[in-house]
Structure 1
Amino acid sequence: MLQFIFGAMMRYLFTMMMGLHLSAAFAQAPFVGIAQHVLPGSVHAWMQPVGKTALPITVIHGQFSGPVLTLTAGIHGDEFPAIFALQQLAQNIRPDQLHGTLIVVHLANLEGFHGRRIALSPVDEKNLNRVFPGRAEGTLTEQIAYFMTENIISQTDYLLDIHSGSANQTLLPHVYSPVMHQAPLDEKTLAFAKSLGIPQIVLYDERPHDPAHSISYPNTAQTRGKPGLTLEVGQLGQRSAEDSALIVQACLNAMRHLNMLDPSAVNGSAMVASTAQPKSQPVLYRKLVEVHSPVTGIFYPLVKVGDAVVSGQAVGRVANYFGQPLETLYAPVAGTVLMQKETPPIREGESTIDIGVLQ
């Protein structure tokens, strides 16, 4: 009898030790970064000082080990749907069921947001998405870029920068998947892009490969060997709930692709339903071709986003201020209209329409 009891106790202790060993194998260490110390299975949200501004940041540090995914809104302060999408997402992810870490930069350009500026900061008239990797002693926009390079990108494994059409622009939802001509990185980046479930993906290799002159936020991640995407959803400077919902779905799809989410890791039935992976294959475009206006005047579009156009097709016209025709604009290539200026003012040399050319 004693031998039976002793054997049962030993089996119990062995089972407990194995459970502890497995738990330790999958558990996370605390997240240490961005001047914060976040325990596994917890959430921390704060206003991070940067120069004379601050960035609203949330870190959701999962209970279990996994990748670090950064989601960013408001690089351009007049692009609103992602701001609301990331608020909703951050409020509904359960850290006790999360594998990995989610860094949410809710609004990267606070001055541009409150100044209602298209792309630029009213403080220094700079475009945050054109000054990376930034400078520690530069203008405010350059300081923000430097902080995000040194403290956000350095911590992340995957980055998703979320944009929309400004008040003057309509667009078809699409993803930019950079091509660095580095096979492992390009394959990982494209798989990440496809996972979002957005039907249009633009492959482009026009950004610099020099980490010291990376220019844009996602490209800064790419030049450091980390997949960085740009997601474009929303238009005309609006705050559409439908656009925000599409962004939430894309983010959840990405997290599922990275094995960060179990069904129980998301609160709310609507958000759980959104975690299904996309079933259809996206359309791939090998580049974007802009149609520029050769004159200054009033722009009249002759197509709309989503339209298929052929080379030589009239896609717009420009008139003078009396309504008299100045120029007709023609598509230089065949493809799909992905973006278009919708407001009348146009200056010589400005882009009016962006056509996606199929791969």
Structure 2
Amino acid sequence: MFQTGTMKLESGKRLKGLLQVENHDLKLPVCAVCGCNEGPVVLITAGIHGAEYIGIQTARELSKELNPKELNGTIVFLLVANPQAAFSYTRLFVPEDGKNLNRAFPGKKDGSLSEKIAYTIEHELHSQADYYIDLHAGDTHEQVMPFVYYPGVAKEEVMEKSRKMAEATGMEIRVKSSATTGSYNCAAIEGVPAILMERGGGGSFTSEQLASYKRDVVNVLSALGVVSKDRGKEKNTIQNEVINAVYTDSLAEGFWHPAKQPGERFLKGELLGIVEDVWGTPLQLCHAEYDGIVLYETTAMGVREGDSLIAYGECRQLSEVAQ
């Protein structure tokens, strides 16, 4: 049975509590919902990037809406992993140390705050999970198309279970990650099947986007047997996988003008965006290396050297809705 600190969940109960960060006075809000029936422990985290609010709201609402009497197993929600950023509308970083929390895993118990949060999540939550869903979005300066990452650096069995979770979301695009950092990648390396989901951005969201994100998560929980859901009337979209991904950063300080939108498809050689100096002189032209689709891009016009501009992927042939 799931337990962290003094918080111990019992069958058929919903429990709210605070997870103490190792060697720090910060506490993270946790809600755990334990079903009446046996089943896996599913960890769902949100707010690793604090201003990606749609993930936080998805976790907050599902943690209240899911009925313990109708669950098989336990769902543990870490509602806000980076509260300092969430409450101060800070993009990407933990305000106290200026680090990207998702790059701090597996963390250090005696490190900076980001490293301590990562260490706490790994040792208190990853270690007790059978499956893991990490909820993200475009940050305050980004927009993303709905897509899902699954780990590509883990044991084959873990990667395959993760791929099936990604497929279960119902999202059009999945990306096999080659990274070894990030909360979900670290969990997978530890043996926990895991995915990272993306939807929305800009520090805001619509009711339609929120409903879609909640549906994405419930689709995965249904596939894992944690919730019961009649999906017989739903259309089955054939998911496409990104086989190559390009993450383009700015080579100079300047003004960014994207030529495509998230989810838009393009051909090899097409212009995806341009960075100009203040006089309008081109500093960087971003051309597509192959036919593909835009995963996410920076919406801020002003960029610094090293800032992310655009991410895109080469997909297996995009398919129509299955009959």
Map Cα deviations across residues 227-247 of structure 1 (whole Å, 9 max, x no partner): 111100111111322222112
2:212 is equivalent to residue 246 of structure 1: yes
Mapped partners of 1:69, 1:45: distance in 2: 16
Map Cα deviations across residues 122-163 of structure 1 (whole Å, 9 max, x no partner): 111111111111111221211111111111001101101000
CA shift at 1:316, angstroms?
A: 1.3
Counterpart AA for 1:333: Y
CA shift at 1:275, angstroms?
A: 9.9
Counterpart AA for 1:310: L
Mapped partners of 2:5, 2:171: distance in 1: 31
Counterpart AA for 2:77: V
- With structure 2 as the length reference, what TM-score do the two structures score? 0.91
2:294 is equivalent to residue 337 of structure 1: yes
Mapped partners of 1:304, 1:160: distance in 2: 26
Mapped partners of 1:194, 1:262: distance in 2: 18
Q: Which residue of 1 aligns with 2:9?
A: 38
CA shift at 1:32, angstroms?
A: 3.2
Q: Within 5 Å, give how 1:62-141 maps onto structure 2.
A: 62-141=35-114
Mapped partners of 1:297, 1:275: distance in 2: 51
Q: Quote the sequence identity (%).
A: 28
Contact 1:306/1:338 (8 A) holds in 2: yes
Q: Which residue of 2 aligns with 1:352?
A: 309
Residues 314, 49 of structure 1: CA spacing in aligned structure 2 closer, same or farther, 3 A cutoff?
same
Mapped partners of 1:351, 1:136: distance in 2: 29
Counterpart AA for 2:42: L
Mapped partners of 1:103, 1:276: distance in 2: 29
CA shift at 1:293, angstroms?
A: 3.3
Counterpart AA for 2:15: H
Mapped partners of 1:123, 1:181: distance in 2: 32
Contact 1:169/1:235 (8 A) holds in 2: yes
Higher mean alpha-carbon deviation, 48-57 vs 286-295, is at: 286-295
Mapped partners of 2:281, 2:79: distance in 1: 46
| Aligned partner of residue 201 in structure 2, secondary structure | coil
| Aligned partner of residue 200 in structure 2, secondary structure | coil
Higher mean alpha-carbon deviation, 101-110 vs 347-356, is at: 347-356
Contact 2:155/2:189 (8 A) holds in 1: no
CA shift at 1:181, angstroms?
A: 5.9
Contact 1:34/1:152 (8 A) holds in 2: no
CA shift at 1:356, angstroms?
A: 0.9
Contact 1:185/1:227 (8 A) holds in 2: yes
Mapped partners of 1:277, 1:221: distance in 2: 31
Mapped partners of 1:290, 1:143: distance in 2: 28
Q: Which residue of 2 aligns with 1:24?
A: none
Residues 72, 278 of structure 1: CA spacing in aligned structure 2 closer, same or farther, 3 A cutoff?
farther
Residues 327, 196 of structure 1: CA spacing in aligned structure 2 closer, same or farther, 3 A cutoff?
closer
Q: Within 5 Å, give how 1:307-318 maps onto structure 2.
A: 307-318=264-275
Contact 1:293/1:329 (8 A) holds in 2: no
Contact 1:249/1:274 (8 A) holds in 2: no
| Aligned partner of residue 93 in structure 2, secondary structure | coil
Mapped partners of 1:125, 1:351: distance in 2: 17
Q: Which residue of 2 aligns with 1:49?
A: 20
Contact 1:196/1:278 (8 A) holds in 2: no
Q: Which residue of 2 aligns with 1:233?
A: 199
Higher mean alpha-carbon deviation, 68-77 vs 173-182, is at: 173-182
Gaps of 5+ in 2: 317-323
Mapped partners of 1:225, 1:139: distance in 2: 26
2:194 is equivalent to residue 194 of structure 1: no
Counterpart AA for 1:207: A
Q: Which residue of 2 aligns with 1:322?
A: 279
Counterpart AA for 1:351: S
Q: Which residue of 2 aligns with 1:185?
A: 158
| Structure with the bigger percentage of helix | 1
Q: Within 5 Å, give how 1:163-174 maps onto structure 2.
A: 163-174=136-147
| Aligned partner of residue 336 in structure 1, secondary structure | strand
CA shift at 1:191, angstroms?
A: 0.5
Q: Which of 245, 257, 278 is the matching residue for 2:223?
A: 257
Contact 1:301/1:316 (8 A) holds in 2: yes
Mapped partners of 1:199, 1:182: distance in 2: 25
Contact 2:20/2:28 (8 A) holds in 1: yes
Q: Which residue of 1 aligns with 2:179?
A: 207
- With structure 1 as the length reference, what TM-score do the two structures score? 0.83
Mapped partners of 2:310, 2:3: distance in 1: 44
| Aligned partner of residue 233 in structure 1, secondary structure | strand
2:183 is equivalent to residue 217 of structure 1: yes
Counterpart AA for 2:179: R
What is the count of residue pairs matched by the alignment?
A: 314
| Structure with the bigger percentage of strand | 2
Mapped partners of 2:250, 2:61: distance in 1: 40
Larger radius of gyration: 1
Q: Which residue of 1 aligns with 2:243?
A: 286
| Aligned partner of residue 303 in structure 1, secondary structure | coil
Counterpart AA for 1:308: R
CA shift at 1:278, angstroms?
A: 6.0
